[in-house]
């Protein structure tokens, strides 16, 4: 999977990494049981420090996207804490919708935007 890091972004490297991997899982570029690259390997590929990758993996583990196997490294393994996830999404959406509303983006446009994003990734994932 191709991971793109924006070094000029204000978003932390390890969070960019985490988000890209979550996106990769959602679009089925990574599937349950797949191994992620080793921390050292991915760090070298991207050109960042090993610990930064390790931090991304640690966060992914804590948030229930991967489990760590001594043999296979970080392995995609989804832990579905549905209530927690729904609460998180709700809180994020609340702020997002407020911002949108202030910028005259309508509810209908949000719905449409969501459908568009789902359509974009439409062979493989996000569903």
Partner DNA sequence: ATGACTGTTATATCATAAGTATAACAAATT
Partner DNA sequence: AATTTGTTATACTTATGATATAACAGTCAT
Q: Which two tokens stand for residue 7?
A: 């070094």
Q: Which two tokens stand for residue 70?
A: 């001594």
Task: Give yes or no for residue 96 binding a second copy (CB under 8 A).
Answer: yes
Q: In Å, how far from its chain's centre is CA 107?
A: 25
Residue 72, beta-bridge partner list: none
Interface residue with DNA, options 20, 27, 29, 54 (CB under 7 A): 54
As separate numbers, helices (DSSP H) first and strands (DSSP E) second, the chain gives 5, 2
The nearest distance, CB 34 to DNA, in angstroms, is: 12
The nearest distance, CB 56 to a second copy, in angstroms, is: 14
The residue ranges that bind DNA (CB under 7 A) are: 10, 12-15, 36, 38-41, 48-52, 54-55, 57-58, 61, 68, 70-71, 73-74
């Amino acid at each position: 999977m191709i991971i793109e890091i924006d070094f000029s972004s204000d978003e932390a490297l390890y969070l960019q990494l985490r988000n890209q991997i979550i996106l990769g899982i959602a679009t089925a570029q990574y599937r349950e049981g797949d191994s992620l690259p080793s921390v050292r390997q991915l760090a070298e590929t991207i050109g960042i420090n090993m610990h930064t990758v390790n931090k991304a993996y640690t966060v992914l583990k804590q948030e229930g996207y991967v489990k760590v196997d001594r043999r296979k490294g970080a392995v995609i393994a989804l832990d579905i804490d549905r209530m927690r996830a729904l609460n998180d999404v709700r809180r994020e959406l609340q702020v997002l919708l407020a911002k949108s509303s202030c910028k005259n983006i309508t509810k209908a446009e949000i719905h449409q935007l969501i459908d568009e994003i789902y359509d974009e990734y439409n062979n493989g994932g996000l569903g």
